[in-house]
Every structure is written in C-alpha cells, then in structure tokens.
Amino acid sequence: MATEFGKSLRATITSIPGLIVIDLPVHGDSRGWFKENWQRQKMTADGVNLPDFGPVQNNISFNDAVGTTRGIHAEPWDKYVSVATGRIFGAWVDLREGDTFGAVYTAELDPSKAIFVPRGVGNSYQTLEPDTAYTYLVNDHWSPDATYTFLNLADETAAIAWPIALESVEISEKDKSHPRLADVVPMPPKKILVTGANGQLGRALRAEFGDHPWIEYTTRDDLDVTSPDLPHARRWRDYGTIINAAAYTKVDLAETPEGRTAAWAANVTAVAALARVATENGITLVHVSSDYVFDGTKSDAYTPADPVSPLGVYGQTKAAGDAIVASVPRHYILRTSWVIGEGNNFVRTMAALAERGIDPKVVDDQVGRLTFTSDIAAAIRTLLDTAAPVGVYNITGAGDPATWYDIARDVFRLTGHDAERVTGVTTDEYFASATHPVAPRPRNSVLAVEAPLDPAPWRVSLEGYLRSAG
C-alpha cells in the first residue's frame, strides 16, 4: 500500500481520552517523499491542538520482517508515534486508573499518519511491510525507577484483532509473559504535590483532594524548596501539579528588617525555585496570591487583568511571586482576599471577643469579601479538572462587599450577641497607638470572580463556618 500524498494536517479524537490521530502532509515525487514529522507551532495551534508535551528524546525501532509484534507497554510519559518507512497495525489500550481502563483503539499507520499517546496508554504494533521503521518522541528520559504497566498482546478482554495471528509472528518472550487485563495494576495519575500542608489552606486542600498515593502533602520539614538540591529532591517527571499553599503572611511583621527578609525568602525565592522545577519538568504550578498586590484605589472590583501596584513589603513580595509564576508555561495564579479557615483568623477572634464580653473597635473603611479556604481549594480543583486556560484568576466569596466592621457585626449577631457592641473606626484611628510597624492596607480589596469559578456567597459560608466552630 503506497503512502498517501497531499493530506492536510488534521487531528482526529479517538475513543480513548487524550489519544489523538494526526494526518500528516507528505510531499512526494519520483525521487521519494518529505514530511514535517513533528512541527510544534503547527501541531499545537488551533485546529490540531496537540499538547505541547515537550519531547526530550527521539527513538527509532527498526523491524526487518512482516509480522514483528511488540507491546503492550504503558509508560509514565507521553509519546508521539509515527512511521518513517513501511506500515504498521497499531493497538492502544487505556491502562490508566479510571472509567476508560481497558478501552481499545486500533489503526494502521504509514508515513502519512501519526498518533499522540498519552501517559499510561498501552502502546503496541505489528509490522505489515518489511523494513519498517517505527519512530517516537517522548517527553522524559528512560529510567529504571519509573513506573511501567504492561498488558498481554493476546488478552481476551482487549480482544485485539491482529491482522497476522500471534501464533505465527515474532514476539519476545518478555512480551509473551505480560499479565492479562484482570491482573494489570493500572497506571496511577501523575502526582500532585502540596506545599504548606499544615496551614489553613493546606488543611482545606487535604479535605478537598483527600489522601491518595498520588497526592503528597509536604511541610518545610519534608521538603525545603530553597535547597540547592531541590531539582533532585524528587523524580519530578512523575508529578503533574504543584500547589503552592505555603507563604509568609505576617503583613505587619514584613515591614521589619527580619520580617522583610523572611517574606522575600518565602514569597519570592521559594516560589522561584518551584517555578524552575515546574518549567523544566512540564509541571502545572498553582500559586495562591493576594489582594495586597493592589493599592486599593480603584473605584470598582479588581479584575485579573488589572496592573499590580502593591503598597507594602508583603504586597511587593506577592506581586513578585506572581510575576515569576506567570513565566511558567503551565500555571494558575489565584488572587484572594480576607482568608478564613482552620486556625486563628478574624472571624474566630470576633466570636471569642463576643463570648468574653469585650466590645471591639473594628475598621470600617476597608471593603472586600471573605474568602473561605474551602472555596479556594474547590477553585483549584475546578481549574485543574476542567483544564482551564492558564493565567490569573480571582477567588473570593460571592455576594455584596462589606467592611471588617460589617463582618464583625455579622459574627456577633450570628453567635447570639448584640451587634451594637461593635464600634466602627477608620484604619488610621485603629493603628494610631500602634507600637510596631504597620503595613499599609488597600482600602478596596474587592476582586471580580468569573467563570469557571462559582464560589458560595460569603455570608452563607460564614453562617456554616460559625455553626461548625460552635
């Protein structure tokens, strides 16, 4: 069968998620033929939409005889397969954990057709012409420590209709000994690493994502991201996502010499180290930022596109971290405000004051919305699960903005106390007698939240939070 010339570059989605067949333009005449086997700009553009998977190695398997059969091998990396000479019958079986485990797709490949095989999908082929060269790009280097999954070529459940009977073809003894589908250990998902796992957001992420072998929750004691050994601290190609929930958040202390050093170390230096690891290994980096990257002078809600203009050291370090993360090819930056979760926070402080009979003075000239850590964790999951476009997103509770004074009154009321016990004061009045450095606060911390994020109204979340705390 002759190679078909003159095709248009086109992608066809298959029944196995992520397995994509590509028709390749082949230009030929009496002298032979030429094709662009992999052309990143064209193949990742709209209309084809192959993943920009970052190949690092090119392999070629040459096969002398018709009927040479290899597989079924699933590796922990993505693979772009094509034929240089000859023709094959290919079979691909989904060996990943999930609903499509065991799904089969078959096709013939010649030099005018290629296929993108995602991590964990078993790859196998049978040559249909002599002197067939089977080529593939992969986005990781082979390693004996990597996790591999195999399936027997003759598995009855997959029931692959091989053109040439397996009894009469060349197969390695190793391939003959692979397990049947019922005995296959599925390929686990790529790992998710969560930093700052003991913080307010870290605990919410644990509740959202759960405990699984492929999710790693770390603290500074487990993983020092500022260590020069960070690039070798893990087999990073096994990770698909890093969620950076660690940060320096002591806003006022950041205005001191010691605090300034600590804030830059945690919010910038550590973030830069994670960004390098993510970039070099094709990892999605999720980073949580703050309303403090803005000066609060805007008259309406801040959007993700608004330019940053931080007032104090903390805001400056968060803005610097955002700029670093934005350079990572696969990134999500979530800006949030007035965070409430497990641990010490404004809501718990007001509830405690109400219970102890103390009548507080609370700032009434800063406007924003509460953001509960459960909403941040859910937003992160939404962005990852929907493969949302990379970039900056805002996440706060929904509903009308309020001042800290308004929120304090709500806390008093919801805990059965008289809201009139709360007195409103300006920011300047509140800090007039402070004996320590005070960071400048944005007066407007209202962030615009857009699809695909859909948080609950903050007042509804506040009621639930106080009920559970009580």
Catalytic residue numbers, as ranges: 73, 136
348 CB-contact burial (10 Å; exposed 0-12 / middle 13-18 / buried 19+)? middle
How far apart, in whole angstroms, are the C-alpha atoms of residue 252 and residue 242?
28
Each residue of 42-73: b (16+ CB within 10 Å) or e? ebeeeeeebeebebeeeeeeebeebbbbbbbb
As given in the structure block, the two tokens for residue 6 are 């003159």
As given in the structure block, the two tokens for residue 348 are 């718990």
How far apart, in whole angstroms, are the C-alpha atoms of residue 240 and residue 78?
12
Residue 123's DSSP bridge partners are: 73, 92
Count helices and strands (H / E) in the chain.
11, 25
Instruction: Determine the residue type at 382.
Output: T
As given in the structure block, the two tokens for residue 432 are 């007039």
Instruction: Using alpha carbons, select from 342, 294, 341 the residue that is nearest to residue 318.
Output: 294
425's CB contacts (< 8 A; 6+ apart) are 361, 362, 363, 364
CB 329 within 8 A of CB 51: no
356 CB-contact burial (10 Å; exposed 0-12 / middle 13-18 / buried 19+)? exposed
Q: Per the omega criterion (within 30 degrees of 0), is the bond before 192 cis?
A: no
Pairing of strands 423-425, 361-363: parallel
Residue recorded with tokens 């009621």: 463
How far apart, in whole angstroms, are the C-alpha atoms of residue 199 and residue 68?
56
How far out from the chain centre does Cα 19 lie? 20
How far apart, in whole angstroms, are the C-alpha atoms of residue 147 and residue 344?
42
How far apart, in whole angstroms, are the C-alpha atoms of residue 456 and residue 416?
23
Helix (H, G, I), strand (E, B) or coil at 238: helix
How far apart, in whole angstroms, are the C-alpha atoms of residue 79 and residue 56?
10
Residue 135's DSSP bridge partners are: 60, 82
Distance set, CA 425 to CA 34, 114, 361, 367 (Å): 75, 68, 6, 13
Task: Give the CA diameter of the chain.
Answer: 94
Residue recorded with tokens 């590509």: 22
